[in-house]
């Protein structure tokens, strides 16, 4: 698949625009147009429905407890000290001093980059390149709170949604009375001042994450790590990502964060790269975050397992008085939970959905571009088309459109030849075109055209809503 063709289609049909385009754009920022906003909403809504409201049953067939939060983008800066972002959320950066270049690059990714000199080469490959020594560059966007722009007023735009969950862990526990294991989910914006934003929306400076922090007993954490890794891979396949383009990759001990017991990247073979690239990370973060916030805030974030304590035998402990006293005081039943974190990018997955959907084929000798979105992802679920603009067809079509519109994003189109209208819907990725023709007026049936096969069948007009409902049901 040719990335340039996809980018052109996204602009032409209103999926994605460069941000501030009429002013020449702004590097690393993107806007979603009328079709793109629906597509990305579908991504986020599918995730919320399938992971928060109705997650798959647990490894022992149990219900999964999951709730959501929506936290502020700006938090107390102490959060980012505790999480380690102030000290360590940085990339190594080099500058090129050569006239005509003056480029700024990520030092650890030079091989995959091109410099501004023509013909472009990887930074450092011309004789005249003058690269500086790598410097550490913190990726958090800084801002000031209030009128004074002094160091005491510095705050950060959040670089991940996860920390909002950790600092609200106790609030959620107290307000919901949930018991371990349980998860807290959040979807929202994150900001990173990336040194080299690139590959369309893949690496942006403003993007959205869909994150779960799943809290569990340390002894059960590996079971939950494996559960979430498998659930998350399956989710992508269920939404139409072909398995041969998708792979889980277990990070090596050297790659992992020092506190992580295991991390799996779920990667997708994007057309702009020879190697699969990360869509999502599923990380076993042990008790790192809660321990850090407990230390920095001075608040007790431990968990007391009342059920275990009530059931446990707190007597003799083989005569060991110390252990017996500790057991009676409940010490072994008080611990800091471990956390499994499936952390996905809404924009990255939206881009993968676009790449996966793009296809060119020939129908009746005519070439077409068709976006083969999974129906749940498709921005428009059905187009309602009167065959001609007379003989009562528009009225009947419009009535059907008004009815379906109450539940689905449907589109009414009565302009131009029906073949051209089909082509426009194919480019938008609309799974169904419903046409009201002469026969519809006589027997109350309509034709329903399948986007991928272009085959048409007749069904009663009253059955259209049912077809849509079946099509959009999540896989079990």
Residues of the shown chain interacting with ligand GAP in the complex, contacts defined by CB under 6 A: 160, 162, 192, 194, 203-204, 207, 209, 211, 278-281, 341, 343-345, 347-348
Give min distance, CB of 163 to ligand GAP, in A: 8
Q: Of 211 and 305, which CB lies nearer to ligand GAP in the complex structure? A: 211
Q: Of 341 and 413, which CB lies nearer to ligand GAP in the complex structure? A: 341
Give min distance, CB of 65 to ligand GAP, in A: 21
Which among 340, 420, 408, 396 is positioned nearest to 66, based on CA atoms?
340
Q: Of 344 and 434, which CB lies nearer to ligand GAP in the complex structure? A: 344
The Cα diameter of the chain in Å comes to 94
Q: Of 157 and 393, which CB lies nearer to ligand GAP in the complex structure? A: 157
DSSP 203: B
Q: Of 266 and 385, which CB lies nearer to ligand GAP in the complex structure? A: 266
Q: Of 192 and 396, which CB lies nearer to ligand GAP in the complex structure? A: 192
Three-state SS letters, 65-109: CEEECCCCCECCHHHHHHHCHHHHCEEEEEEECCCCCCCEEEHHH
Residues in the chain, overall count:
476
Give min distance, CB of 28 to ligand GAP, in A: 8
How far apart (Å, rounded) are the C-alpha atoms in residues 212 and 50? 12
Give min distance, CB of 168 to ligand GAP, in A: 15
383 touches 421 (CB < 8 A)? yes
Give min distance, CB of 200 to ligand GAP, in A: 10
How far apart (Å, rounded) are the C-alpha atoms in residues 260 and 248? 17
Q: Of 206 and 437, which CB lies nearer to ligand GAP in the complex structure? A: 206
Which among 111, 93, 112 is positioned nearest to 103, based on CA atoms?
93
Give min distance, CB of 404 to ligand GAP, in A: 33
143 touches 80 (CB < 8 A)? no
Residue 228's SS3 state is helix
Residue nearest to ligand GAP (CB): 345
Distant-in-sequence, close-in-space partners of 80: CB < 8 Å, separation ≥ 6: 86, 89, 140, 156, 163
333 touches 309 (CB < 8 A)? yes
Q: Of 195 and 448, which CB lies nearer to ligand GAP in the complex structure? A: 195
Q: Of 192 and 421, which CB lies nearer to ligand GAP in the complex structure? A: 192
Q: Of 117 and 301, which CB lies nearer to ligand GAP in the complex structure? A: 301
Give min distance, CB of 122 to ligand GAP, in A: 21
Give min distance, CB of 201 to ligand GAP, in A: 7
Q: Of 250 and 395, which CB lies nearer to ligand GAP in the complex structure? A: 250
Which among 98, 99, 80 is positioned nearest to 90, based on CA atoms?
80
User: Using CA atoms in the order 66, 67, 70, 75, what is the torsion angle rounded to 10 degrees?
Assistant: -80
Strand 66-68 to 154-156 pairing: unpaired
Which among 210, 230, 191, 192 is positioned nearest to 349, based on CA atoms?
210
Burial tier of 4 (Cβ tally within 10 Å: 0-12, 13-18, 19+): exposed
Give min distance, CB of 398 to ligand GAP, in A: 41
Per DSSP, the chain holds a count of helices (H) and strands (E) of 15, 23
Give min distance, CB of 281 to ligand GAP, in A: 4
Give min distance, CB of 442 to ligand GAP, in A: 53
Distances (CA, A) of 139 to 136, 194, 297: 10, 6, 24
């Amino acid at each position: 698949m040719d990335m340039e063709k996809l980018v052109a289609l996204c602009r032409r049909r209103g999926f994605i625009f460069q941000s501030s385009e009429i002013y020449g754009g702004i590097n690393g920022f993107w806007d979603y147009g009328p079709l793109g906003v629906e597509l990305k909403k579908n991504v986020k809504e599918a995730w919320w429905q399938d992971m928060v409201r109705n997650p798959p049953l647990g490894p022992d067939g149990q219900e999964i407890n999951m709730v959501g939060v929506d936290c502020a983008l700006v938090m107390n800066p102490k959060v980012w000290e505790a999480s380690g972002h102030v000290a360590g959320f940085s990339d190594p950066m080099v500058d090129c001093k050569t006239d005509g270049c003056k480029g700024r690059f990520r030092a650890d990714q030079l091989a995959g980059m091109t410099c501004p000199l023509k013909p472009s080469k990887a930074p450092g490959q011309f004789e005249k390149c003058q690269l500086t020594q790598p410097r550490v560059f913190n990726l958090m966007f800084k801002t000031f709170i209030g009128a004074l722009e002094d160091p005491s007023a510095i705050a950060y735009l959040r670089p991940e949604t996860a920390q909002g969950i950790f600092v609200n862990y106790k609030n959620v526990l107290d307000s919901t009375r949930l018991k371990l294991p349980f998860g807290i989910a959040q979807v929202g914006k994150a900001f990173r001042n990336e040194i080299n934003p690139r590959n369309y929306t893949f690496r942006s400076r403003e993007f959205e994450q869909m994150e779960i922090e799943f809290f569990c007993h340390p002894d059960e954490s590996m079971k939950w790590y494996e559960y979430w890794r498998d659930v998350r891979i399956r989710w992508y396949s269920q939404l139409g990502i072909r398995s041969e383009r998708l792979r889980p990759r277990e990070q090596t001990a050297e790659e992992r964060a020092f506190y992580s017991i295991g991390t799996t990247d779920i990667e997708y073979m994007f057309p702009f790269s020879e190697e699969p690239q990360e869509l999502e990370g599923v990380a076993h973060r042990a008790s790192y975050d809660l321990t850090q916030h407990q230390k920095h805030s001075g608040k007790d974030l431990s968990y007391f397992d009342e059920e275990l304590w009530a059931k446990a035998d707190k007597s003799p402990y083989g005569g060991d008085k110390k252990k017996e006293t500790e057991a009676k005081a409940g010490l072994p039943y008080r611990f800091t939970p471990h956390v499994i974190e499936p952390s996905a990018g809404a924009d990255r997955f939206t881009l993968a959905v676009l790449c996966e959907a793009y296809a060119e084929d020939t129908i009746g000798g005519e070439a077409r571009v068709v976006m083969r979105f999974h129906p749940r992802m498709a921005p428009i679920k059905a187009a309602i088309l009167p065959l001609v603009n007379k003989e009562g067809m528009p009225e009947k079509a419009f009535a059907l459109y008004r009815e379906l519109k109450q539940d689905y994003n449907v589109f009414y189109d009565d302009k131009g030849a029906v073949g051209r209208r089909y082509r426009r819907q194919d480019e938008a990725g609309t799974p169904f075109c419903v046409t009201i023709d002469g026969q519809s007026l006589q027997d109350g049936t309509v034709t329903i055209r399948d986007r991928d096969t272009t085959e048409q069948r007749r069904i009663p007009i009253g059955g259209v809503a049912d077809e849509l409902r079946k099509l959009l049901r999540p896989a079990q």
